[in-house]
């Protein structure tokens, strides 16, 4: 059965009121899990099957006592206390032997936040979240395992704000859900809102890439100095004004100087690298920019960043990884 998941609208602040519940927004793969007897299906947000890439989760769901159910949750992979998105990407490999090796090295978890069908086959889609959550908690207490776990939720706004501010290494924000709303499959609804804690960091421009269709700068490659004194590539920004690109390109070309990054470089070996991903123009570490980002994990910005301003007043050596180090313990403590 293919069921498109209910999706959230982006919001800038946490909604308040007794009708709202708050949950961690995990940095993983959204997946609806369906069991029918000895058959388990894991469906991605786009409707694609994921079971072959997560045999450990399929087996864990088969080990649960109920022979049928439908759950909505997030696939995540913990490594040394943090949830590492890159490990999820590595699972998307055509060779089953490779997938099984990765599953043994770093087993996945399935964090469940909604019950769509119970062990008797009763659909809960039309029921309000407050009822679905009660049934889910009872289902989890009776059947879940170390691999299939209940994702936490709270009605306490102050607690949700603490999660948003201080939880690192795998938490991608907060999801607010209206307790009176049914499960609106395939809809992006205001009854479900996602809020991210946007932060800023000062970064060295260690290189740039030309745009794909013109000889002007397409993106700036960002670096931060580590405790080892090396400049490590941590991400990019491409939010450059079109009218400024030509002049900026000339400025950058005048600063070309290898190697650009003395630590981790762009386009390092991985199955996601392309011929173009390793190509960039290295720069002398002279320029500093302030960027806005939403999540830093695995030694880099999880998504592209937004350029806020140039910082000629900032010394490049002041741009260190300490800016983006998480102040709190791993979010895994929420499900311990």
Query: What DSSP character marks residue 2?
Result: -
What is the rounded CA–CA span in Å between residue 51 and residue 105?
Answer: 18
* Cβ atoms 114, 135 nearer than 8 A: no
End-to-end CA distance of the chain: 32
What is the rounded CA–CA span in Å between residue 316 and residue 207?
Answer: 14
* Cβ atoms 31, 73 nearer than 8 A: yes
Strand partners for 189: 8
* Cβ atoms 193, 175 nearer than 8 A: yes
Establish whether 250 is a catalytic residue: no
| Sequence-distant (≥ 6) Cβ neighbours of residue 322 within 8 angstroms | none
Catalytic residue among 25, 65, 194, 196: 25
Strand partners for 175: 23, 194
| Sequence-distant (≥ 6) Cβ neighbours of residue 114 within 8 angstroms | 71, 72, 73, 129, 132, 133, 136, 183
φ/ψ (deg, to 5) at 276: -75, -25
Catalytic (active-site) positions: 25
């Amino acid at each position: 059965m293919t069921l498109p998941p209910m999706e959230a609208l982006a919001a800038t602040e946490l909604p308040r009121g007794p009708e709202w519940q708050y949950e961690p927004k995990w940095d993983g793969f959204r997946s609806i899990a369906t069991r029918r007897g000895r058959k388990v299906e894991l469906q991605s947000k786009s409707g694609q099957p994921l079971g072959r890439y997560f045999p450990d989760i399929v087996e864990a769901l088969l080990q649960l006592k109920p022979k049928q159910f439908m759950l909505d949750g997030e696939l995540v992979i913990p490594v040394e206390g943090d949830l590492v998105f890159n490990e999820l990407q590595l699972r998307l490999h055509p060779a089953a032997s490779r997938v099984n090796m990765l599953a043994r090295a770093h087993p996945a978890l399935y964090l469940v936040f909604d019950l769509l069908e119970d062990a008797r086959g009763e659909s809960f889609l039309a029921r309000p979240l407050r009822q679905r959550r009660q049934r889910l908690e009872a289902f989890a207490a009776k059947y879940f395992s170390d691999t299939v776990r209940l994702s936490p939720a709270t009605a306490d706004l102050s607690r949700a704000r603490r999660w948003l501010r201080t939880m690192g290494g795998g938490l991608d924000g907060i999801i607010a859900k209206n307790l009176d709303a049914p499960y609106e499959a395939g809809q992006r609804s205001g009854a479900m809102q996602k809020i991210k804690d946007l932060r800023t960091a000062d970064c060295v421009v260690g290189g740039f890439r030309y745009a794909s269709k013109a000889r002007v700068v397409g993106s700036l490659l960002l670096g931060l100095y580590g405790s080892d004194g090396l400049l490590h590539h941590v991400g990019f920004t491409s939010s450059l004004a079109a009218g400024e690109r030509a002049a900026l390109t000339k400025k950058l070309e005048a600063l070309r100087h290898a190697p650009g990054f003395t630590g981790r470089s762009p386009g390092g070996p991985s199955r996601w690298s392309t011929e173009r991903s390793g190509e960039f123009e290295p720069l002398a570490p002279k320029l500093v920019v302030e960027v806005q980002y939403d999540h830093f994990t695995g030694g880099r910005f999880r998504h592209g960043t937004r350029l806020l301003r140039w910082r000629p007043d900032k010394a490049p050596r002041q741009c260190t990884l300490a800016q983006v180090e998480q102040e709190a313990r791993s979010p895994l403590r929420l499900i311990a």
